[in-house]
Amino acid sequence: MAVLGSGARILLAAAILVSLSTRAEPVIVVHPSCPVSRLSPDEARRLLLGADLSWSNGDAAQLVEIRGDDAVVAAGYQAIARKTPSQVRSEWNRLVFAGRANPPLRFGTAAEVRAAVGRLPGAFAVIDSSASNPSVKIVFRAPGAD
């Protein structure tokens, strides 16, 4: 390190900061009115797989997703439920087919997903923490999803 000049050190520190700040951190966000403030890993898994379909205030749990493939969502699903997005969708297909749940709501961008969660009581989604804002509430951070 001593061989680096002060300019190089600043550049290295900046690179590390940028790397940390851009590292994907999948989180589960919910509508602000959701009665839950924190989910356990098991509760998060059950929610994502549709095993729990309602919140304690009577709102139906509604999965909101980005349309198509998304690396952050894939990492989040894997970390939360040990399943790929295809496998999670397959589980929801089963529920929808059984008439037990409404299909996931799908939008084109992460911003639209976040906006939908912020708009619809009962909604939840897996998004990158950097895409979160005060319109939604983070209730779970996926462990080691990067």
Interface positions with another protein (CB under 8 A): 51-56, 58-61, 64, 67, 82-84, 86-87, 89-90, 93-94, 96-100, 102-103, 105-107, 116, 119-120, 122
User: By C-alpha distance, which of 122, 137, 124, 119 is closest to 59?
Assistant: 122
Cross-strand partners of 141: 27
Nearer to another protein, 112 or 130 (CB): 112
Nearer to another protein, 53 or 141 (CB): 53
Q: How far is the CB of 134 from another protein (least distance, A)?
A: 19
CA 5, 6, 8 angle in degrees (round to 5)? Answer: 65
Nearer to another protein, 14 or 60 (CB): 60
Cross-strand partners of 105: 64
Q: How far is the CB of 106 from another protein (least distance, A)?
A: 5
Nearer to another protein, 16 or 108 (CB): 108
Q: How far is the CB of 30 from another protein (least distance, A)?
A: 14
Distance (Å, whole) CA 146 – CA 46 = 21
Q: How far is the CB of 35 from another protein (least distance, A)?
A: 10
